[in-house]
Structures are given as structure tokens and as C-alpha cells.
């Protein structure tokens, strides 16, 4: 499958769930989907394939779930491991809504994906 086909497949596969997450957490579906698409290489990255982690979320101290170690910014970093990609999507939404460094994003309209994208890049 070409990368273009893979991207189309990814969007078709996860867009409905991104919309569900938007309704529940007030995060733009376009932001959720595009971040998952980019971080996971449309589901083809080593991290996504090994651990269903589509957002590159690291373990952090409070994580009590399964773990996988992967080279990222540093060698052998701890990343969260999920049963399936949907669990990764859910955790991503919860991660954004519970971390203080992202709280300012929720002042923006869920229709303003540009402010959300710029804000995420600064957070």
C-alpha cells in the first residue's frame, strides 16, 4: 500500500472515532485525527505497530498500564502500550483534558482547528 493509500485508509478507519471523541471531550476531530495520523505514520510507525500508541504518549510517573520501550528523543524511552488503537485515542483525549499545560486550548472553539494546532505546537 502506498503512503497516500495508507493515509486515506487511516482517515476512513479512525475519523468516526475522532468525531466521537470531539463530542465527548470538546477537542476538534480534525486535530485528533491529524495528530494520530502524523504521530503514527498513518498507523505504520514502529511504535504504533508494537504498542497501538498512535500519539507517541510516554509513560510518565502515573501510568500503571502496559509499557513498551522505544528510541525517540532518547534511547529506550518508556511509552504507553494499548490493547488497540481506540484505547490510544481515548487516552489521548484524556491526556489533553487532564494536563494543565493544555488547559488553555479548551478556551478555543472546537471549530477553530488553526488555534488548536498552533496551541498544541506551543504546549
Checking if the pLDDT of 33 tops 90, the result is yes
Calpha distance 95→80 (Å, rounded): 12
pTM (2 d.p.): 0.92
Please give the pLDDT value at position 67: 95
CATH architecture of 3-122: Orthogonal Bundle (1.10)
Domain boundaries, the chain: 3-122
Residue 44's pLDDT is 96
Q: What is the mean pLDDT of residues 96-121?
A: 96
CA angle at residue 85 from 112 to 14, to 5 degrees?
45
Q: Region of 112 please: left (phi>0), alpha (psi -120 to 50) or beta.
A: beta
Q: What is the Cα–Cα distance from 71 to 104, expressed in whole angstroms? A: 30
Instruction: Report percent pLDDT > 90 for the chain.
Output: 89
Spatial distance between the Cα atoms of 105 and 39, rounded to a whole number of angstroms? 19
> Is-contact 115 108, C-beta < 8 A?
yes
Instruction: With a cut of 90, say whether residue 61 has pLDDT above it.
Output: no
Answer whether residue 11 shows pLDDT above 90: yes
Query: What is the structure's pLDDT at 72?
Result: 80
**pLDDT higher than threshold 90 for residue 28:** yes
Mean pLDDT of all residues in 102-116: 96
Amino acid at each position: 500500500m502506498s503512503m497516500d493509500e495508507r493515509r486515506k485508509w487511516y482517515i476512513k478507519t479512525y475519523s468516526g472515532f475522532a468525531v466521537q471523541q470531539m463530542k465527548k471531550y470538546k477537542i476538534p476531530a480534525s486535530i485528533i485525527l491529524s495528530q494520530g495520523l502524523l504521530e503514527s505514520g498513518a498507523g505504520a510507525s514502529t511504535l504504533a505497530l508494537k504498542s497501538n500508541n498512535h500519539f507517541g504518549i510516554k509513560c510518565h510517573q502515573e501510568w500503571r498500564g502496559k509499557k513498551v520501550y522505544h528510541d525517540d528523543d532518547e534511547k529506550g524511552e518508556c511509552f504507553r502500550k494499548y490493547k488497540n488503537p481506540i484505547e490510544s485515542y481515548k487516552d489521548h483525549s484524556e491526556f489533553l483534558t487532564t494536563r494543565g499545560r493544555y488547559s488553555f486550548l479548551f478556551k478555543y472553539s472546537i471549530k477553530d482547528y488553526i488555534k488548536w494546532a498552533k496551541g498544541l505546537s506551543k504546549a
